[in-house]
Structure 1
Amino acid sequence: MTATDTDERPGIAAAVVVREGCVLLVRRRVGEGELVWQFPAGEVEGGESETEAAVREAWEETGVVVRVVRGLGERVHPKTGRRMSYTACEVVSGEAYVADAEELAEVVWCGVGDVDSYVPYGLYGPVREYLDRAAATS
């Protein structure tokens, strides 16, 4: 991506955490336009890869330790204009809770088939495909 594709702010890394047919979603205290529920996510810090940032954000926001399954791709988010990367993750340990009460209001394990009721504006294609495969194997 070039600087003309998005603004100059650091990219956002999202952790797509799936466990037993459910996906981990967070609700931010301050909404970002239509974005109410979303994957644990935050800015990539200096010297950090997108996958490292996704793992860190899952821990910082929800208290869940995750490991990378694989990268799912990146795009400029159509609602925020921010560069986004998505990383599929699996739970290593911990139970999800609001670990960052300043940023988050709520966390939920949502059935993969119910994601659209939480994220009605649609998912990035490769994320949708990953979740559909996860639902089929659970």
Structure 2
Amino acid sequence: MRAPDERPAVAVAVIVDDGRVLLIRRAVREGDLSWALPGGQVEPGESGEQAAVREAREETGVEVAAVKNLGERTHPTTGRLMIYVVCEVVTGTAYVADPEELDAVAWCDRAGVAERVPFPFFEPVQAHLDTHLM
């Protein structure tokens, strides 16, 4: 049996606005994944919700507010604890705010997600997107 991963958890911001979800493309691919939801490591003293809000701002320039936690899981590929947080846009226009980490951002409807992400998201995230995307 694999030992629990000791690295910090990763918080992911699930941001849907006007029927589209905000995706980021990493400058360096992570395995088979190039497009993903904004997110990153939870810093010491931070909650998953706080980390998701911070990461969304740092990566995309968009100010968001955490609405609800969709759940947690151990990522099947990386072994990291993942925390998925629904966030709503407060203000801002998405752009590549961290060019060292990202090379693109995109607001995607269902077809746009299907073009960029070759497999379903974590089940609660996918269910949320299925009910909120155009």
After TM superposition, list the pairs within 5 Å mapping 1:5-84 onto structure 2.
6-84=4-82
1:113 offset after TM fit, Å?
Answer: 4.5
1:122 offset after TM fit, Å?
Answer: 1.8
Distance 1:93 1:40 in 2: 16
1:79 offset after TM fit, Å?
Answer: 2.5
Task: State which of 86, 89, 106 in structure 2 corresponds to 1:88.
Answer: 86
Corresponding residue SS for 1:29: strand
Q: State the TM-score, normalized to the length of structure 1.
A: 0.91
Q: Deviations over 1:36-75 (max 9, x none)?
A: 1000000000000000000000000000000111110011
1:35 offset after TM fit, Å?
Answer: 1.3
Distance 1:27 1:59 in 2: 15
Q: How many residues are paired up? A: 133
1:95 offset after TM fit, Å?
Answer: 0.2
Q: Deviations over 1:17-37 (max 9, x none)?
A: 000000000001111101110
Distance 1:107 1:79 in 2: 24
Q: Deviations over 1:85-105 (max 9, x none)?
A: 100011000000000011001
Distance 2:79 2:7 in 1: 10
Distance 1:46 1:59 in 2: 18
Which stretches of structure 1, 4 residues or more, deviate above 2 A after TM superposition? none
Residue type at the aligned position of 2:34: V
| Alignment RMSD (CA, Å) | 1.4
Which residue is 2:121 aligned to?
A: 123
Q: Percent identity?
A: 55
Which residue is 2:104 aligned to?
A: 106
